[in-house]
Amino acid sequence: MEYIIKNGNVYDPLNKIDGEKVDISIKDGKIVDSVSADAKEIDASGQIVMPGGIDPHTHIAGAKVNVGRLIRPEDSKKDTEFSKPDSGKRAGTGFSVPSTFMTGYRYAQMGYTTAMEAAMPPLLARHTHEEFHATPILDHAAFTLLGNNWFIMQYLKEGDIDKAATYASWIIKATKGYAIKIVNPGGTEAWGWGGNVHGIDDPTPYFDITGGEIIRGLAEVNEMLRLPHSIHLHCNDLGHPGNYETTLASLDLPKGIKVDPVTGSRKTSVHATHIQYHSYGGTNWRDFVSEAPTIADYVNKNDHITIDIGQVTLDETTTMTADGPMEYDIHTLNGLKWANCDIELETGSGIVPFIYSPKAPVPSVQWAIGLELFLLVDDASKVCMTTDSPNGGPFTRYPRVFSWLMSNKAREDMLENKVHKWAEKRTSLATIDREYSFYDIAQISRSSPAVVLGLSDTKGHLGVGADADIAIHNFNIDNQDPSADYGAIESSFQRSSYVFKDGKIVVQDGEVTIPNHHGRTFWVDSLYNAELEKQVVSEVENVFKQYYSVNFENYPVQDEYVLKPAPINGIKEAGK
């Protein structure tokens, strides 16, 4: 099937197209130079055309997401979707943690076509991939959690970086994972002993290694393996007043490491995720203030870093993370139900519902800090749009966040009428009048994540050879002013007029038309050193016999688990 999209205002930052009317030709799932006269024409006049959205950090598949669904039936009734048996469309429920099918539909309706599960414990990789099976439309990948992994901590402690790299390359392959995810390095392991670590110089029990050593070690490993994505870092001390100093110190650690990925055009050595939660000043919740300007200044002055925000959307949501001790803190703070899991030799996790009330001082400040970071980092190619869904708020709120970014009036309305006055007093938000353009929005939600993930060859742009993942939104730049008509931004991004996935129309007029299209699973296939890998795997097997609850043979994710594999080649035998 061939299509040609005509007359739309195209925003394609990687090809420097800023609202011009450019025809987009589609053939066999790809964007091409030209199509035949038989191509079906889509008239996008008075509409904006962007590459399909890419979410570089979300929680949509795996054990903790599923526990979130299980412990929150009351969340289920807040958003529901009926099945349409003839079309293959499945029923679903859930507002902050939608069921798998609905996750695919809701992302697609917003024009998003790729989403990354940000935290996959190796032991639960199979479950994560099983849920990907049932999450339609989206291309996806999962980041393998390694920041509290016993083998990594042991090898780094022994100073054997080659073995650490070998293990990392093997475990990413074995779990069909995509990137090295670090969550509260050392802290989640300390939680296994009932504690936490504070800052980057606090050694974790038994392994006696600090968060800082883990971050630096894994950052080096990442570039030894020349992975498509940089390390994906959830810093220590998440959500603690005064944590910005830990954040700055952590971000400095991967500075100067030579970056040369096998695929993609990434030049950065660290991606700091949901940085909103790591930009806090003060010493407690009473003198809590924003340090977003300090963090934004650091990001502006340094080129080895990209960030995503973790914007708070002021909803009732469900927090879930591998940062087990932090979830316990939340549970003691709000007293709501709490699920906790220790994942053997690898990581942990926790889940607690959370109500970000706009009337309450702290959530209002968190909301403002997120927006400050968006608006104070000058270069939108360093910034990715996330709410750390569902932690800061569900991904279905992205359109609302776009409207806050594009309209100073929308923010003034919030500050004057909706949020607690602390948002004005404890942050600089009220003094910022920058407004994002659609080009900026296309950067934070399309091109920046594509580049930082190493997928910019085929994703995040509309040039020839790209996958035909395209979103068309009904907003007329000739007669609508985004600054004044911010409600229209939200509604046009919530329900796209057309979404193409791999050259097929999967959404039309805001409704899913092909509910059973299956996306690709990206994973990294690399081999650091075959001989060393044999040795490391045999060491792993021995530890398995002693400590793991499963047999080694049942651990790696078989090829059959990945329905539509899209392996990204990493290094081959570089460590020899």
Q: Which residues are near another protein by CB under 8 A?
A: 71-75, 77, 335-337
Decide if 101 contacts 90 (C-beta within 8 A): yes
The smaller minimum CB distance to another protein, of residues 70 and 563, is found at 70
The smaller minimum CB distance to another protein, of residues 337 and 534, is found at 337
Instruction: Output the smallest distance, CB 333 to another protein, in A.
Output: 12
In a 3-state reduction of DSSP, which class is residue 29?
Answer: coil
Six-digit token string for 510: 């805001």
Six-digit token string for 437: 């353009």
The smaller minimum CB distance to another protein, of residues 75 and 117, is found at 75
Which residue matches tokens 């909706």? 418
Give the whole-angstrom CA distance, residue 362 versus residue 314: 11
Instruction: Output the smallest distance, CB 73 to another protein, in A.
Output: 4
Decide if 272 contacts 307 (C-beta within 8 A): yes
3-state helix, strand, coil in the chain (%, to 5): 35, 25, 40
Amino acid identity of 286? R
Buried b (16+ CB within 10 A) or exposed e, 96-115: bbbbbbbbbbbbbbbbbbbb
Instruction: Output the smallest distance, CB 72 to another protein, in A.
Output: 6
Distances (CA, A) of 511 to 81, 202, 401, 506, 508: 11, 51, 22, 8, 5
Six-digit token string for 530: 């075959």
Q: What are phi and psi of 412, to 5 degrees?
A: -60, -40
Q: Is 334 exposed, middle or buried (0-12, 13-18, 19+ CB in 10 A)?
A: middle
**How far is C-alpha 516 from the geometric centre of its chain's CA atoms?**
23
Instruction: Output the smallest distance, CB 76 to another protein, in A.
Output: 8
The smaller minimum CB distance to another protein, of residues 72 and 232, is found at 72
The smaller minimum CB distance to another protein, of residues 334 and 483, is found at 334
Residues linked to residue 25 through DSSP beta bridges, in sequence order: 4, 32
The smaller minimum CB distance to another protein, of residues 194 and 335, is found at 335
The smaller minimum CB distance to another protein, of residues 262 and 336, is found at 336
Instruction: Output the smallest distance, CB 511 to another protein, in A.
Output: 19
446-447-452 Cα angle (round to 5): 110
The smaller minimum CB distance to another protein, of residues 91 and 563, is found at 91
Instruction: Output the smallest distance, CB 335 to another protein, in A.
Output: 7
Instruction: Output the smallest distance, CB 338 to another protein, in A.
Output: 12
Instruction: Output the smallest distance, CB 128 to another protein, in A.
Output: 24
Q: What are phi and psi of 223, to 5 degrees?
A: -85, -20
Instruction: Output the smallest distance, CB 337 to another protein, in A.
Output: 7
The smaller minimum CB distance to another protein, of residues 334 and 513, is found at 334
Decide if 268 contacts 306 (C-beta within 8 A): yes
Q: What are phi and psi of 59, to 5 degrees?
A: -120, 100
